Structure 1
Amino acid sequence: MAAKKLLASFPKVLLDEVEKWGGRKQTGVSLRYMTKFGSQPTSRNLVFSAQFLHKELPIRIARRTLELQSLPFGLSQKPAVLKVRDWYLESFHDIRSFPEVKDSSDELGFTNMIKMIKVRHNNVVPMMALGVQQLKNDINPKARKHDEIHQFLDRFYMSRIGIRMLIGQHVALHDHNPQPDCVGCIHTKMSPMDVARNASEDARAICLREYGSAPDVNIYGDQCFTFPYVPTHLHQMVFELVKNSLRAVQERFMDSDDIAPPVRIIVADGLEDVTIKISDEGGGIPRSGLPKIFTYLYSTARNPLDENLDLASADSVTMAGYGCGLPISRLYARYFGGDLQIISMEGYGTDAYLHLSRLGDSEEPLP
C-alpha cells in the first residue's frame, strides 16, 4: 500500500522518464581527468562540467531509483527504503526540470540546485541501513537471496559515492579561496600520514565518548610523502578501520589489568599502490566470521538504529553497528582502483590492508 501511495504522489510521466533514462549508458570519469579538467575552472569549463552533469546525473539516479523499486524480500516496501526512493525521485525530477545549461548564469543556478540534492541525500546510508535492519527481523538468516541484497547494496553505494564525488567536485570548483594544491575535492599533494592522524584522532574521540578511555594509535611512515587523492575518502576509510580496531582492543582489555596495546598504522609508498596497514591486538575474528564482515547484514556490535528512530536524525556517528562500515570502506577504496583486505588471527588481532592506486587513471567502476 505504502509503495502505491508514494508512487501516486509522482506523475506517471515522471516515472516513465525514469524508466527511459535508467536504460541509458553511464559515462565514467577518472581521478586524473577530474584533476586535469578542474585545474582550470574557467567559466567555459564550469559550463561544460554542468552540461555533462545535466546529462549524466539523471542516468545514474534513474538506475538506482529503478533498482529501489524491485528489491527482494519486500525490502522495497520498508518505510526507510521508500523514503530513500522518494529522495531519488525528487532529485531526478529537479534535474530533469532544470532547463539546458547554456551560460554562466544557468551554470550557477544548476550548481545551487545540485548542492541542495547532495544535502537531501546526506542520510541515505543510515536510512538504507535502517531499511535493512527492518528487513533482518523478517527473513531467514540463511536465505540465499542475501547475496542479491548484498550485490544491490554494493551497486547502490558505489553509485552514491560516484554521484557525490561528481557533484562535490563541481561545487568545490566554485571555491574562491581553494586550499593550496587542491583541485576541487582532490588534493594533488595529499599527505596520507596527516589524513591518518586526523582520522585516528576522530576515532579515538568517539571511543573515549563511548568507553571513557581509548587505546593509543601509533603511525609510522614518511611524513614528507604526498600523492594525489581525495582526502575525505581516505579519512572515511581510515576512520572506519581505526574505529573498529579501537573497539576490539578496548573491549578485550576493558576488565584487564594489562595496559591496552596501541593500534598501529603503517603507510607504505609503492610504485603502483600506496598501502596503509592498520593492525590491532583486539583478539581477531574467527575464520568462520571473516566471509561475513563485508556483507551488509552482519555486525558484531549492537545495532544503534532503533525502529522508532526519528528518520531525519539518523546520521549520528556511533562506534559500530550499522553493519555497513567495512563494505562501504571497501567501495571507497575500489572507486579509484584500490582495494581493502582484512587478515585476522583469532586469539590475537586483525590487520587491515588499505590499497590506494597511485596511477589515478582507472575509470570509475560504474554499477
Structure 2
Amino acid sequence: MQTLPFVVVTNPHMSHVYDLYYRAFERLRRVREIKSVEDNEKYCKVISETLQEHLTVIPRLAMGVLECQGLMRPQEIDKFMNTLLRSRISRRVIAEQHLALTETFNAPWHFPNAKAPVDPNAEFVGEVFLRCNAREVVDACWLRAKTLAEEAYGPDCAMPDIIVEGHLDATFPYILTHLQYVIGEILRNSIQAVVERRPTPGDSPSPIEVLICEAPQHVIIRISDHGGGIPKEIMPELWSFSKSSRSQAHLRNLSQVPKMAATMQELRLPNLSSEPLTSIETSKQSPLDSSLSSLTSRPPNLRLGVGLPMSRVYAEYV
C-alpha cells in the first residue's frame, strides 16, 4: 500500500485499511516466541481479535478503489487488488488454521490418557474438509441462494429448478468455505439472470444446469443457465474491481455491507432471516465470523461489483 500514489492512500477507506494492517503488524511483531500452551492461548487471542477487526477490509477496499478510479489506471488498480486479496486470503487461512488446530489440540481425545477415543471419522484437519462432496456443496449453496431470491422477489415469483449431473459422488480435500463462496456467488447470478429474463411474470423460468466432472487432479463444476448471457458493454469490466459504469450504485450497496471476511462470510445483514444450516455447515462451527457464506446471503438486488473478481481469486488460490 505504501507504493500507491499518496492521494490514493489518503482516501478515507484506503487509509482505514492501511491503519488496520499497520496496527496488526505492530501487534504481531511484539508477540514473543511461543514456548508453552499458555503462550499459545495468548497468541490465539491476539489472532482472533485481529481477524475480527479486519472484517471491514474488503468492503472498505472496494469502496476506496471505486472512489480512486480516476487517480490510477484500471490495470494498476486491479493488479493491486488481486495481489492484496491473495495475500490477505493466505494470511487469514494460516491464522484460522492455527486457531482450528489449537482447538483440536485442546479437545479431550487429543491427549493419550483421555477417556474419549480419537474419532476415526473426523472430516476436518483444521479448516480443510477432507471429504468435500461437490454435489452436497452445490445443493447447500442452491438452497441458500434460492431462499434469498424468494425473500427478495416475493412468494409469487416462480424460481428455477436445478439439474445436477455428472460425477455426483466426487469428493476431494478442500477449504469448504472457499468453495461455498464461489459456487454460491455463481448460483446467485444465475438465479437472478433467469428470473429477470422471463418474458412474462407467469412463465416458468428455465432450469439451471450443473455438471460435475472428476479427473485425477481436478474437479470441475460447470454452471449453465438460460439467463441471456452478459451484455457486451459489461464484458470489458467483468473481472475488474474498478468498474466505472456502475461505480456509484456499487458504492451505495457496499455501504450496506459493513463487514466481510476473506475466507467465507461477512456478517449477516440485519434484515435477513436466518435459514437453517446444512449438515455440512453444522459439522464444523467456528466462533469466528470467518466464512464467506453470508456474503452470498445478501439480497440479489444488492449488487457489489466484486463477486466474480473475488470468485476468481478464490478459485485460483492454492
Task: Report the TM-score when normalising by structure 2.
Answer: 0.75
Higher RCO structure, 1 or 2 (CA under 8 Å, sep 6+): 2
Task: Give the counterpart of 1:174 among 102, 106, 125.
Answer: 102
CA distance, structure 1, for counterparts of residue 250 and residue 234 of structure 2: 21
CA distance, structure 2, for counterparts of residue 269 and residue 285 of structure 1: 28
Aligned counterpart, 2:80: 152
Task: Give the counterpart of 1:266 among 211, 217, 242.
Answer: 211
CA distance, structure 1, for counterparts of residue 58 and residue 208 of structure 2: 27
CA-CA distance at 1:145 after TM superposition: 0.8
Point out where structure 1 has 5 or more consecutive residues left out of the alignment.
Answer: 1-66, 337-367
Aligned counterpart, 2:111: none
CA distance, structure 1, for counterparts of residue 256 and residue 72 of structure 2: 32
Task: Give the counterpart of 2:58 among 118, 125, 133.
Answer: 125
Aligned counterpart, 1:16: none
In structure 2, give the amino acid aligned to 1:168. E
In structure 1, give the amino acid aligned to 2:171. T
Aligned counterpart, 1:183: 125
Cα-Cα RMSD? 2.7
CA distance, structure 2, for counterparts of residue 183 and residue 308 of structure 1: 34
TM-aligned CA distance change 1:201 to 1:303, over 3 Å: farther
In structure 1, give the amino acid aligned to 2:177. T
- 1:259 alignment partner, SS class: coil
Whether 1:232 and 2:160 are equivalent positions in the alignment is no
Point out where structure 2 has 5 or more consecutive residues left out of the alignment.
Answer: 108-118, 261-265, 270-297
Task: Give the counterpart of 2:143 among 172, 197, 201.
Answer: 201
CA distance, structure 2, for counterparts of residue 116 and residue 145 of structure 1: 35
CA distance, structure 2, for counterparts of residue 201 and residue 301 of structure 1: 30
Q: Percent identity over the alignment?
A: 30
Aligned counterpart, 1:15: none
Aligned counterpart, 2:249: 303
CA contact (8 A) 2:145 2:188 kept: yes
In structure 1, give the amino acid aligned to 2:10. Q
In structure 2, give the amino acid aligned to 1:90. R
CA distance, structure 1, for counterparts of residue 308 and residue 160 of structure 2: 21
Whether 1:291 and 2:248 are equivalent positions in the alignment is no
CA distance, structure 2, for counterparts of residue 285 and residue 307 of structure 1: 21
CA-CA distance at 1:321 after TM superposition: 2.3
CA contact (8 A) 2:130 2:172 kept: yes
CA distance, structure 2, for counterparts of residue 157 and residue 215 of structure 1: 33
Task: Report the TM-score when normalising by structure 1.
Answer: 0.65
CA distance, structure 2, for counterparts of residue 313 and residue 163 of structure 1: 17
CA contact (8 A) 1:218 1:265 kept: yes
CA distance, structure 1, for counterparts of residue 256 and residue 193 of structure 2: 29
CA distance, structure 1, for counterparts of residue 254 and residue 233 of structure 2: 33
